[in-house]
Amino acid sequence: MSHRIVSKKQLSEDVFTAKVEAPLVAQARRPGQFVIISLNNEYAERIPLTIAGVDLREGTISLIWQRVGKTTAELSDLQPGDEIANVAGPLGNPTELEKFGTVVCVGGGIGLAPLLPIAEALKAIGNRIISIIGARNKELLILEEEFARTSDELIITTDDGSEPLAELCQAEPKPDKVFAIGPAIMMKFCCDVTRQFDVPTEVSLNTIMIDGTGMCGGCRIEFDGKAKFVCVDGPEFDGHKVNFDLMMKRLSAYKSAEQKEHERYKDHRCKVSEIKEKE
Amino acid sequence: MTDSERRQLLHDLLQKQENGGLKPRDRYEIPPQDMPEQDPVVRAGNVNEVATGYTETHARIEALRCLGCKNAPCVNGCPVRIRIRDFVVEIAEGRYEQALSIIKENSLLPAVCGRVCPQENQCQLTCTVGKRFKDPTRAVSIGRLERFVADRDGRSESVPAVAAETGKKVAIVGSGPGGIVAAADTRRAGHEVTLFEAFHKPGGVMVYGIPEFRLPKAIVQNEIDTLAKMGVKIVCNFIVGKTRTVQQLLEEDGFDAAYIGVGAGLPNFMGIEGESLVGVYSANEYLTRANLMKAYGYGSCADTPIARSKAVAVVGGGNVAMDAARTALRLGAEKVYLVYRRTEKEMPARIEEVHHAKQEGIEFHILQSPKRILGDQNSQVTGVECLKYELGEPDDSGRRRPVAIEGSEFTIDLDTVIIAIGNKPNPLISQTMPELEITKWGTIVVNEETMATSVPGVFAGGDIVSGAATVILAMGQGRIAAAGINEYLAKKDK
Ligand SMILES: Cc1cc2nc3c(=O)[nH]c(=O)nc-3n(C[C@H](O)[C@H](O)[C@H](O)COP(=O)(O)OP(=O)(O)OC[C@H]3O[C@@H](n4cnc5c(N)ncnc54)[C@H](O)[C@@H]3O)c2cc1C
Ligand SMILES: Cc1cc2nc3c(=O)[nH]c(=O)nc-3n(C[C@H](O)[C@H](O)[C@H](O)COP(=O)(O)OP(=O)(O)OC[C@H]3O[C@@H](n4cnc5c(N)ncnc54)[C@H](O)[C@@H]3O)c2cc1C
Ligand code: SF4
Ligand code: SF4
Ligand code: FES
């Protein structure tokens, strides 16, 4: 099965989006689910990416990714017409969509990608949506227009979003539900806030994965004191029961090694482009 | 024995056989032929196969040890009933092709089984020669002989004949040994067969779990290539239950029957404190990173990292634990401990693998088990606290139950812990198929004569039916299921 990149766009300095042929995945996918991709059969890493949207007519899925390490950098260098060797999915459980009433969607950085389809779906079934979207700085903010279109109220921040969230929670009536997706530290702060106000909060976790089918346990987190596998039990969880500190430690398990790999890849790219320039 | 002494021995034996025959007494005296293997120190530093295989001389001498028993008790020990006596006699005569075709009547993957079958509990357990020495490891080395003839054939590219197309479609879910055999046998009957695999590479545990140094990946790939040549369509990255459900395959995609061979891949954890610390792996994760993702090449060619540990404890006593321990050693660990609750006698691992592990320098900690895993402020593992055990009364399985000795806690310093205490079935398929009957352990219930499940047209086999078992059992069930499917489809015609 071929997974051709049909189109590709750069959304900010390090964020890209592409439409990729994957008709079966597109057909089966529901909001909240992800795919695992890898760029070749022998030596590539398998990485999870959320399915940000689908086009059933074209048989494509949209991916949005942030260039953080070797694999996402390599992916960013692919062009329309190139193939992604492996795309497997859709994985994970779909978001449980319900009419909650007022829902606050807090998204940070690349977390805005998985948040958007959820916000859209929640809106479509009649929820009032307040979105708090943020990134480290304004240049890194993505999907602003899309969130503006989907939300009844839009708050933009350059912080982790917990402050405006606290304000919303203090108001009467307080929100019925919060969805928070972004860096682990952001989700942790948001959960610290909503816990105080007893507002149920759903988070989507981005642990390191391999198979995505429950087979390795690498994606496990501590939830309510017990081990859960993000790929099959999640990726969404009741944020009030997640041990974020431990999850963050597990996320950085390979940090220094991976930084080296990424540097090596960047060096290699520079050399390749130098050679090309000379020719 | 030197090579020339060995050749001389074979010469003498053959002469004797011609002149008046080898009496059983003579045969008992023939020294069992050890398998040539890489030096333990050298091999601990590479990922190449440990046992390098018999030469012709080894094989023929070993085959001459067989008494040719009338009732061939060895055959009853083999789950797929290979005509062992008959193929061994062919080897003794130097007729290797005939030997291979006898094996292939019952086993499609002799190069695999010859390497990984727990022979000492199966065919070699019931062999008369082994009985005489009261030691199944001194029986006729049936597995090694199987491997010998299979490897010789490696170069010939025979593709099994396929019957005329029937127009029927069969879906095989999971590409482990059971799936491979089921695909081959249904394809041979002329059906249009598609093999679906969740991973990006087919082969099941044989590629992601069992390491290269025990089962070279090229052997498995060769079998997959043969399937492709027979016309089996192989679709990777396809997770049945997620990408499409079994019902969709049957009702919407035109498949007439399905075989479910998804294995028992879900790792068990111990449920002790510290199990989510950084540096704690399931054996599945560790082995998948190392084998499938080739993490041993991280930094030079592979993109998937793995902990480069100094001191590692592997918890468990099965093949999986041995594989993880020996992989850790090859990834550069200075100390590898194997921590097991019972004694070596109860270890489910193959004797040969235990022997190899010890030879390579794995330290066995028997009658011990972790109580909790210790970590530092960065949640990085720093050690395990273990309890000592003694053996008590036998439990349901007949093995003596390990009992913790109170107050016997002690600590081992290390940076990596690998948990290898068994796997259970993945519920992905049963969750999306409520009408599929399963046991309380999550294994699929089948009719053992046909491997048919409670859902018409759906068959199952391998670890998803028997729980974590063996390659040969999975193959055997794949074969029965294929026969069941072929029969079901023949009837469906009318
Ligand atoms: C269910 C799920 C959905 C995801 N969806 C998206 C998405 O839609 N878009 C997107 O850009 N990313 C998403 N991620 C995160 C993405 O998988 C990682 O960014 C990717 O694996 C990094 O690979 P790399 O080789 O480029 O970087 P690596 O070299 O592997 O890592 C670079 C740096 O990122 C850190 N890192 C590694 N894995 C993750 C992770 N899972 N999350 C956060 N940091 C990590 C490492 O510690 C390291 O510091 C998702 C993760 C999960 C589990
Ligand atoms: C490390 C290790 C060492 C072992 N050593 C030995 C040994 O020495 N000797 C021995 O006899 N046995 C050994 N075993 C056991 C043996 O490998 C298994 O019993 C055997 O492989 C089971 O075969 P199977 O046909 O059930 O499929 P498996 O080999 O389990 O393969 C199942 C396949 O199905 C795929 N799959 C799962 N879910 C889905 C889905 N939903 N859709 C599509 N595909 C799916 C999986 O990715 C996998 O490739 C070992 C096992 C392990 C883990
Ligand atoms: S398949 Fe396994 S059990 Fe059967 S004869 Fe061969 S080695 Fe022995
Ligand atoms: S039982 Fe042993 S000696 Fe007898 S036929 Fe079988 S392999 Fe040969
Ligand atoms: S990614 Fe392997 S179990 Fe979740």
The answer for B169, left when phi > 0, alpha when psi is -120 to 50, beta otherwise, is beta
Are B249 and B258 within 8 A, CB to CB? Answer: yes
List C-alpha distances in Å: B442 to B206, B290, B434, B466, B470: 22, 28, 12, 10, 18
Residue A235: is the preceding peptide bond cis (ω within 30°)?
Answer: yes
CA of B128 from ligand 4 middle (Å) equals 6
Query: Is the sign of the CA dihedral A199, A200, A204, A210 positive or negative?
Result: positive
Report pLDDT digits (tens) over B112-161: 999 999 998 899 999 999 999 999 889 999 999 999 999 987 655 678 88
Q: What is the pLDDT of residue A249?
A: 87
> Which tokens in the block code for residue B245?
């459900």
**Parts of chain A with a pLDDT under 50:** 279
Pocket of ligand 1 (CB under 6 A): A 34, 45, 47-50, 64-66, 68-72, 110, 113-114, 206-209, 235, 251-252, 255, 258, 262
Identify which of A71, A211, A250 has the shortest CB distance to residue B276. A250
Report pLDDT digits (tens) over B53-89: 999 999 999 999 999 999 999 999 998 899 999 999 9
Q: What is the pLDDT of residue B494?
A: 53
Rounded Cα gap, residues A46 and A173, in angstroms: 44
| Chain A / chain B CB contacts < 8 angstroms | 120
Q: What is the pLDDT of residue A128?
A: 94
Q: What is the pLDDT of residue A85?
A: 94
Separation of CA B136 from chain center: 19
The answer for B24, left when phi > 0, alpha when psi is -120 to 50, beta otherwise, is alpha
Ligand 3 nearest-atom number relative to CA B84 = 5
CA of B332 from ligand 1 middle (Å) equals 27
Q: What is the pLDDT of residue A272?
A: 57
Ligand nearest to the CA of A212: 5
Are A228 and A247 within 8 A, CB to CB? Answer: no
Residue B306, CA atoms < 13 Å, CB-side half-sphere: 33
Pocket of ligand 5 (CB under 6 A): A 209-212, 214-219, 229, 231
CA of B111 from ligand 3 middle (Å) equals 11
Average pLDDT of the residues of chain B: 92
Angle, vertex CA B181, rays to CA B179 and CA B184, nearest 5:
105
Chain position carrying tokens 């046991």: B439
B296 pLDDT higher than 80: no
ipTM above 0.95, yes or no: no
Q: What is the pLDDT of residue A164?
A: 83
Say if ligand 4 is within 6 A of residue B72 CB.
yes
Which residues on B lie below 8 Å from A213 (Cβ)?
198, 239, 242, 265, 426, 428
CB contact under 8 A, A1 and B275: no
CA of B272 from ligand 5 middle (Å) equals 20
Report pLDDT digits (tens) over B437-467: 999 999 999 999 999 999 999 999 999 999 9
Q: What is the pLDDT of residue B249?
A: 97
Identify which of A88, A227, A243 has the shortest CB distance to residue B275. A227
Q: What is the pLDDT of residue A123?
A: 93
Nearest CA in chain A to B237: A88
Concatenate the DSSP letters of all residues of chain A into one string.
---BEEEEEEEETTEEEEEEE-HHHHHH--TT-EEEEES-SSSPPPEEEEEEEEETTTTEEEEEEE--SHHHHHHHT--TT-B-SEEEEEESPPP-----SEEEEEEEGGGHHHHHHHHHHHHHTT-EEEEEEE-SSGGG---HHHHHHH-SEEEEESS-SHHHHHHHHHSSSPPSEEEEESSHHHHHHHHHHHHHHT--EEEE-----SSSSSSS-TTEEEETTEEEEHHHH-SEEEGGGB-HHHHHHHHTTTHHHHHHHHHHHHHHHHHHHHHHHH-
Angle, vertex CA A241, rays to CA A235 and CA A246, nearest 5:
80
Phi, psi (degrees; rounded to nearest 5) at B52: -95, -5
CB contact under 8 A, B288 and A216: yes
Q: What's the predicted TM-score (pTM) here?
A: 0.91
Q: What is the pLDDT of residue A260?
A: 74
Ligand nearest to the CA of B463: 2
Ligand nearest to the CA of A93: 1
Say if ligand 3 is within 6 A of residue B127 CB.
no
> Which tokens in the block code for residue B239?
């997770």
